[in-house]
Structure 1
Amino acid sequence: MSRPLERGRELLRTANDTATETLHPLIVVCRGLRRLAAAGRQRWSATPRERRGPVVALGAVGALAVALVPYGPLAAVALLTAAAAWAGRDSATRETGPSEAERARLHAVYEALVPYFSVPDDPDPLYVHGGAPEAAFVAHAFDPAGRPERLELRYPPYYPDGEAASRERIEQVLRAKCGRGREYLFGWDEEANVLEMTVLPALPADIGAQPFVTSPGETVLGFTDHSSGVRRTLPVYGGEDGTEPRDEPPVVWRTGPRSTAPHLIALGRPGSGTTTLLRSVALQALRDGDVLVVDGGGTGEYAFLNGRPGVLSVECGLTGALAALEWAAHETERRLIAAQEAQGLGQPVPEDVRRPLWILLDRPAVLTQLAASEERHDPQDLLRVPLRHGRAAQVTVVVADQFETAESLSEAVRTLTPARVVLGAYSSEQVRAVLGAPPNTTPTPDFPPGRGYARLGPGPVHRLQVPATPDPADEEAPAFRREAVLALLPEPAPAASADR
């Protein structure tokens, strides 16, 4: 009797498996329809009330159009079935919902926002203590550690999202509850009352000095992230040994007669990378122009430029700086006069006038202090002519100084340098004071050298990572970085080599 009984049980299991396999597509479709309906209800609850009427009208028009088209209903049923089958596929192949720990994290973020997104007179508050975060949080994603890395939330229309202080208050709360030590990008949609928070990856700090593929008049200040809105990318080499090829979005500064930001100023703390930025600009400027360097700090970090074709002078002392800047002012005037005379006679502008001239001034506040102690002329006053008329004369001025001594900069330097760079970890208020606009990201406490923000004229604020451009004489820098800098320098003139 045992063998027939076992045989019957085996036949019953086979029949059940066959029935399950036969009904499996129907089960998947029903599960998918249920999930689509739940997603639709959630999307409907997240839709603002003022938009529900137009959504219903649009849906009715679409349904009528499908009903009038030949085979329209049949195609709609087939499309719905396919969508339900995709949505109802096995849970192992689908994205799982938030875990209990992630839900607790979302609830903590929601509760922290209640005091800011609610008022006592609101008849239907979106944020209330003990409420459901699902109604306010449209979308969310978590990193492997369980911290939110993307969060899209709705907020009441009466919240003053047009005020910078109100925005910063919410950003601080989200940053504290979602995890510090990361850089966040906040996108405020004031029309739809939606705030999107995204955790940004670290900028590439392994890109060094190298020949960049740019046009004449373009200078690569550094590189930013792919989500910054920069549509252009450049082929570069990075990695631990500088041999890994890839494409990165650059922050390109355009100079010349048609530039809206003909001059640049960079501010930062010691070691933040302002000198590195000037070295990078000098190497790129030497490709088709002349460079005049004034090192107010007297550190000798530009000595490797001496004797190179295109390098007019590298001055470190006050006397040499005054003489070089006085010559630059006269050269700017000479170029203007020559250009006007050539245009008046209908002749082409002379080649020496069209060749770009770059004036790189590092730490001018030190020179100003030395000039004041010796009762001599302020070197910054000699920059007025190049700053005011340099664009027409193909003269570009780049100034770098420390953030703490920015008050010592002359009015001409502060007002006639629309291209701005801030390097180092600073608050949003400090960045806004230099760039004229706050960054849309929250700075992290630790910034690598060359990391900061850039704004070119009235454009947006970009995250910036300056290419690693060390002094070739710096033995602490990697050897391949120093060799890359030397490879970009033009070969010394034969006369200069003989003198050595």
Structure 2
Amino acid sequence: MARRSLTGILSGRLSMARGRDLAQAAAEGAGDVFHPVITLTRGLRCQAAWLRAWWARTPSDRRGPVLFLAASAMLVVTLLPYGPALVVLAVMGSAAWAGRDRNPVETGPDDTETAKLQAVYQALVPYLSDPADPKPLYAHDGSWEDAVTHYEFDDGRLVLLQVRYPAYFMDGDVEARARVERLLHAKAGRGREYRFDWNEEENLVTLTALPALTTGITAQRFVTAPGETILGFTDDDAVRLTIPVAEGEETWDAPPVVWRTGPRSTEPHLLAVGRPGTGITTLLRSIALQALHQGDVLVLDGAGTGEYAFLTGRPGVLAVESGLAGTLAALEWAARETERRLIAVNRARQTGRQTPQDARTPMWIVVDRPTALAHLAAAEGRPDPQELLEVPLRHGRAANVTVAVGDQIEALESLALVVRAHTRARVVLGQVSPAQVHAVLGLPPHTTPAAHIPAGRGYARLGDGPVHRLQVPHTPDPHDEETGQAHAQAVLSLLPAHPTPEPGTSTAGP
């Protein structure tokens, strides 16, 4: 009797368990069955809301014609074979697309990524903690989940990291920021460039891995307005302007760093410095080629290497000087020409007339390695060529005279005060320290240095604007034996053609 009772009880429990399983399976099946219905219902609701909003935006005088067109379309559809069925299928298909689930389930980091984030958190503890903090955000026994607000990985490497920091952290201290940036750079992985964005209002710092700037843009005719010069190209989100460029056989839009000169410019003169072989001469060649399409160019090559000889005799090239005597004579003439232009502009304004054409034509003075000529002039007891740049630098903005100076960063202290004071557009190229970038640009770099710095890579800052990453267009010396035929031809094609002599005239010199 007892055995029968026990058997009955067990049989009853098994039946109840089987019933619960069947009920759960039925519920899941019902959920699977009703999921398309829910999607279609959500989509139809979205379509109805859009239709109501569109009808509310439609002016009252246009609603009648709209209803007439809709009725005509419905009549035509009903007369077509299978017309109503096709309309129903189209509506249901669009409803299914509009009602789909757009919020996929987010998965957390795997074990490797969790270990990486925890390592970054533990490394920040000595920098962002305070023993007097009663509720420290960073502690040796803490977790990264309280400090990391956003992160992204790509093949196991951090490409985006946003962390919170305590309110008492001195985020206004440049050195304190630099320590945190160096640490995050090391933990995220060296060999790539990272940008750091500090949000002082919300106590957030964001690390973003940057793609490498392209080095395939060569010398070409850029689309610019009068008075605009392309120094190079930067990140897509750094500037709001893009211009079409040719890279090989492809054409695409690239974000340029545009230097604006002329009477309305706030930074009419430029200073570019860098280590030897980093592309300073390449930048000055690119500027000279662009300037030839706008006005006249005077080139002074203090290095004396002949890398501007291809400009000699071209229309618009006033002179190409590399010796001390020729440079001094050219700069004395440039100072007198600037004064003449300034007088002509003032007289035209006083009398209400238009400025003469010879005073409106832009004139560019490109000076490469002026400190080399300064040392040579000091040895011979002659005046410093840099002092002769004072008049073009001080009054060039009103006289439409632009000065572009390039030199080595080791000779920065040897540059004359007048040169450093009046060159508000600045460029730094090559592998230089953050302190040197700060000394030239007035701000530290906002990105970490790359493992490999190609020629023409660096930073640019125009006046009081932000610091931009920069890649100078490849503009080699076309007469150099190591220059490829395609690159040499690209540079030569930008030069103005030699003037064609008139019939019956002789081209021989005096």
Q: TM-score range by the shorter chain?
A: 0.7 to 0.9
Letter paired with 1:205: T
Match of 1:209 in 2: 219
Distance in 2, matches of 1:253 and 1:420, equals: 10
* Structural RMSD (CA): 2.4
Preserved CA contact (<8 Å) 1:425 1:445: no
Aligned residues: percent identity? 60
Of 138, 147, 169, the match for 1:127: 138
Asked whether the equivalents of residues 296 and 361 of structure 1 are also in contact (C-alpha less than 8 Å), the reply is: yes
1:19-418 correspondence runs (5 A) = 20-24=28-32, 85-87=101-103, 96-144=107-155, 146-228=156-238, 230-238=239-247, 242-418=248-424
Q: TM-score, normalised by structure 2?
A: 0.80
Deviations 1:253-292 (A, max 9, x none): 0001111001000001111000000010011100020000
Deviation at 1:102, TM superposition (A): 1.0
- Return the alpha-carbon distance in structure 1 between the equivalents of residues 100 and 262 of structure 2: 58
User: 1:497, 1:447 → 2: CA distance?
Assistant: 51
| Alpha-carbon separation, structure 1, partners of 2:362 and 2:398 | 11
**Residue 126 of structure 2: SS of its match in structure 1?**
coil
Deviations 1:322-345 (A, max 9, x none): 010110000000101111112222
Q: CA deviation at 1:486?
A: 0.8
Q: Is the 8 Å Cα contact of residues 224 and 250 (structure 1) preserved in structure 2?
A: yes
| Most deviating of 179-188 and 291-300 | 179-188
Match of 1:66 in 2: none
Task: Label 1:85 to 1:332 Cα distance change in 2 as closer, same or farther (>3 A).
Answer: closer
Q: Which residue of 2 aligns with 1:48?
A: none
SS in 2 for 1:220: strand
Q: What amino acid is the match of 1:370?
A: L
Give the deviation of 1:358 after TM superposition.
0.2
Give deviations 1:427-482, integer Å, cap 9, x for gaps: 21110000011121111242100000000111111110000001111232332221
Q: SS where residue 170 of structure 1 aligns?
A: helix
Q: Kindly state the Cα deviation for residue 499 of structure 1 after the two structures are TM-superposed.
A: 4.7
Give distance in 2, aligned partners of 1:25 and 1:292.
Answer: 80
Secondary structure of the corresponding residue to residue 397 of structure 2 = coil
> Secondary structure of 2:161's match?
strand
The verdict on how the C-alpha distance between 1:499 and 1:283 changes in structure 2, with shifts beyond 3 A counting, is: farther
Paired AA for residue 115 in structure 1:
P
Secondary structure class of the residue paired with 1:270: coil
Corresponding position of 1:5:
none
- Which whole-Å deviations, capped at 9, do the CAs of 1:105-125 have from their partners, x for residues lacking one? 111000000111111111111
* TM-score of the superposed pair, with normalisation by structure 1: 0.81
Determine the C-alpha separation between the residues in 2 that align with 1:169 and 1:263.
Answer: 34
Q: Tell me the CA shift for residue 374 of structure 1.
A: 0.7
**Larger radius of gyration between Structure 1 and Structure 2:** 2
Q: Write out aligned runs for 1:394-473 (5 A).
A: 394-473=400-479
Q: Secondary structure at 1:392's aligned position in 2?
A: helix
* Structure 1 residue 130: Cα displacement: 2.6
Give me the whole-angstrom Cα distance separating, in 2, the residues matched to 1:108 and 1:280: 46
Q: Distance in 1 between matches of 2:125 and 2:454?
A: 36
Q: Does 1:489 align with 2:495?
A: yes
3-state SS, counterpart of residue 458 of structure 2: strand
For residues 386-430 of structure 1, the C-alpha deviation after alignment (integer angstroms, 9 at most, x for no partner) is 000000000000000000011111110011101100000112111
Q: Aligned partners of 1:95 and 1:219: how far apart in 2?
A: 47
Contact 1:274 1:450 in 2 (8 A): yes
Q: Aligned partners of 2:34, 2:508: CA distance in 1, in Å?
A: 89
The answer to whether the 8 A contact 1:136-1:153 is kept is: yes
Amino acid aligned to 1:147 = R
Q: Which amino acid aligns with 1:272?
A: T
Structure 1 counterpart of 2:65:
none
Distance 2:277 2:394 in 1: 31
Distance 1:497 1:423, change over 3 A: farther
1:69 matched to which residue of 2?
Answer: none
Distance 2:171 2:506 in 1: 63
Q: Residues of 2 paired with 1:410 and 1:497: CA distance?
A: 45
Give how far 1:132 is off.
1.3
> Aligned to 1:390, what secondary structure does the other structure show?
helix
Separation (CA, whole Å) in 2 of partners of 1:372 and 1:469: 33
How far apart, CA to CA, are the structure 1 residues paired with 2:228 and 2:267?
12
1:479 to 485, 492, 505: 485
Determine the C-alpha separation between the residues in 1 that align with 2:265 and 2:99: 52
* Offset of residue 97 of structure 1: 2.8
- Work out the CA distance in 2 between the residues paired with 1:259 and 1:462: 19
> Is contact 1:28–1:84 with CA below 8 Å preserved after alignment?
no
Q: Answer yes or no: is the 8 Å Cα contact 1:291–1:313 preserved in 2.
A: yes
Q: Which 5+ residue runs of structure 1 have no aligned equivalent?
A: 1-12, 30-81
AA aligned to 2:169 is Y
Q: 1:25, CA displacement in angstroms?
A: 7.2
Distance 2:165 2:416 in 1: 45
Q: Note closer, same or farther for the CA distance 1:21–1:179 as it changes in structure 2 (3 Å cut).
A: same
Q: Partner amino acid for 1:311?
A: V
Q: Distance in 1 between matches of 2:483 and 2:459?
A: 24
Q: Report the AA paired with residue 342 of structure 2.
A: L
Task: Give the Cα separation in 2 of the matches to 1:497 and 1:166.
Answer: 71
Find the aligned partners of 2:36 and 2:24 in 1 and give their Cα distance: 17
CA contact (8 A) 1:28 1:85 kept: no
